[in-house]
Amino acid sequence: MQLVKNRYQLGGVDLLEVANQFGTPLYVYDAETIKRQYNKLNEAFEGVDLKIKYACKALNNINIIKYLKSLGSGLDTVSIQEVELGLKAGYKPDEILFTPNCVDFNEIINAVNYGVAINIDNISILEQFGHDFGNKVECCIRINPHIMAGGNSHISVGHIDSKFGISIYQLPLIDRIVKNNKIKVTGLHMHTGSDILDADVFLRGADLLFDAASHFPDLKYLDFGSGFKVAYKEGDITTDIHRIGKKITSNFNKFCKNYGRKLELWFEPGKFLVSEAGVFLVKVNVVKQTLSTVFAGVNSGQNHLLRPKLYDAYHNITNISNTKSTKRIYSVVGYICETDTLGYDRKLSEIKEGDILAIQNAGAYGYTMSSNYNSRPRPAEVFIINNEAKLIRNRETSDDLLRHQIDVI
């Protein structure tokens, strides 16, 4: 957001006007921010054959997916429904990577029939895949490197107790399964988690993948997942993407030389591309003072933005209706019958009932994790592109909540 003449804007559009036009609660996304982040990644890894696969679980509106395709991105998917969404958005099958976890094997068969790249993270599934497809269908193998990374245990997925990936120590078993079933492994994958700051985490994982690659003569790519940290508050430490890019590019090129040919380097950013592009606009319903706290109760809650409750995540909050007055301490809470605090003890410009608050960094895992808890409809979504705010998802209604219910009484 930018403050221009005491009015907050996103993508050159006045946010209060957007709230008035489309109502609240409302997710708003800025195309230029997404483009900036996408270009930053490409620049950081200049010097390798880079393929970016947008992790659409972060924000799966088809307009966002189409926009990233227009920038040159591929797609990372984790369900057959996301695969189908990507195909509807115009991606070619070979531009889509399917990385499921704990799914029924029929879902993998469906993905094979669609022609997308298959990423396997389970020994039993690898065996079934080999029995059914042998060397007729290429696949990627997801390795668990046993590296604890990321901000906390909720978002670290490469440690020893993670359900994701096949242990690096099971390479001998993978070898036997691959050779006995003549499986053609063309990719190796690793993802250690989110909010990674240290380039050494990627480099340690890279060394493990480079070592594992010697077991697979037909590789076309190595996929390092993602996990680059973005800022959630002023002064936040973020991933030095250019430093990581320089180190990994150098090591990757050395590996390719030793391997005997150039491979593609893949990343699957989600949050890095869309988090900072999103703002969640909510209206203050009540200002409630207790003996110890002043609450600003808004027309949303954990049903629409789960991250603060689920991950103890911090999101900056700004009163965009009042940019000048004295700042006071508030706890911003929702209208859900839970302790759904969106922000504790925040110093905000004085809040009145009816004011609009902007919750920042809401582009990733906001709408996609929303629910109808307490029978509340989900909000609308707006995309700001070419300095114009466009509605890209209608607000749900009570009729939508009943649409798939069957009355048998």
Residues catalogued as catalytic: 337
Q: How is the beta sheet containing 2-4 ordered, strand by strand?
A: 2-4, 7-10, 13-14
Instruction: Tell me the C-alpha distance between 284 and 123, whole Å.
Output: 51
Where on the phi/psi map is residue 214: left (φ > 0), alpha (ψ -120 to 50), or beta? alpha
Nearest Cα to Cα of residue 223 among 142, 309, 102: 142
- Residue at 314: amino acid letter: Y
Decide if 323 contacts 298 (C-beta within 8 A): no
Nearest CA to 342 out of 318, 359, 328 is that of: 359
Dist CA 130 CA 180 (whole Å): 8
182 vs 30: CA distance, rounded Å: 47
User: From CA 77, how far away is CA 344, in angstroms rounded?
Assistant: 34
Residue 393 to residue 387: CA distance in whole angstroms: 18
Largest CA distance in the chain: 72
E-strand stretches of 299-396 = 317-319, 327-333, 341-349, 356-360, 380-385, 388-393
Which residue(s) pair with 330 in the sheet?
A: 346
